């Protein structure tokens, strides 16, 4: 079942994100950050277990980021990642955003939704606020992609 995240989900979301962050696949998120951004998150739940998550983080009046996309490894290849990313894109359209971006190691996955690769310099400086927390900063090897919604 796809739904917006609830308070009771935060610790499980963090466990899922931490698993991938420990491999260097994404930024880790503290419990404090997750509680503050809870309304950004979608989850897919089955039998009270979170199988996948993604967040739509608004950056500016016309721009948001799809981030923290993670699917439990034992639930992969079932369309869960696509469902949570689609929910983020749909919400972005619904609230009137013009563009959505992501930083990813999986450009083929995001290309399925219409995202295109862009140079990181095309993204506003405000985007890089979280990057200073990354162990890879300033030598980021993620691929910047953007989706025009208009």
User: pLDDT tens digits, residue range 6-56?
Assistant: 999 999 999 999 999 999 888 889 999 999 999 999 999 999 999 999 999
The confidence score (pLDDT) of residue 7 equals 98
- CA–CA distances in Å: residue 16 to residues 29, 32, 43, 99, 144: 10, 16, 11, 27, 23
Q: For 95-121, what is each residue's pLDDT tens digit?
A: 999 999 999 999 999 999 999 999 888
Structural domains present in the chain: 2-148 (3.40.630.30)
The confidence score (pLDDT) of residue 27 equals 84
The confidence score (pLDDT) of residue 123 equals 82
């Amino acid at each position: 079942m796809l739904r917006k995240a609830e308070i009771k989900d935060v610790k499980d979301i963090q466990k899922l994100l931490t698993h991938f962050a420990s491999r260097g696949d994404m930024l880790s998120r503290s419990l404090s950050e997750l509680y503050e951004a809870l309304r950004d998150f979608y989850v897919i739940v089955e039998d009270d277990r979170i199988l996948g998550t993604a967040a739509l983080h608004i950056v500016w009046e016309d721009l948001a980021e799809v981030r923290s996309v993670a699917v439990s490894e034992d639930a992969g290849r079932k369309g869960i990642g696509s469902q949570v990313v689609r929910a983020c894109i749909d919400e972005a359209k619904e609230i009137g955003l013009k563009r959505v971006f992501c930083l990813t190691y999986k450009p083929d996955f995001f290309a399925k939704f219409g995202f295109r690769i862009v140079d990181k310099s095309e993204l506003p400086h405000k985007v890089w606020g979280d990057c200073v927390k990354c162990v890879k900063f300033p030598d980021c090897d993620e691929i910047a992609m953007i989706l025009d919604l208009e």
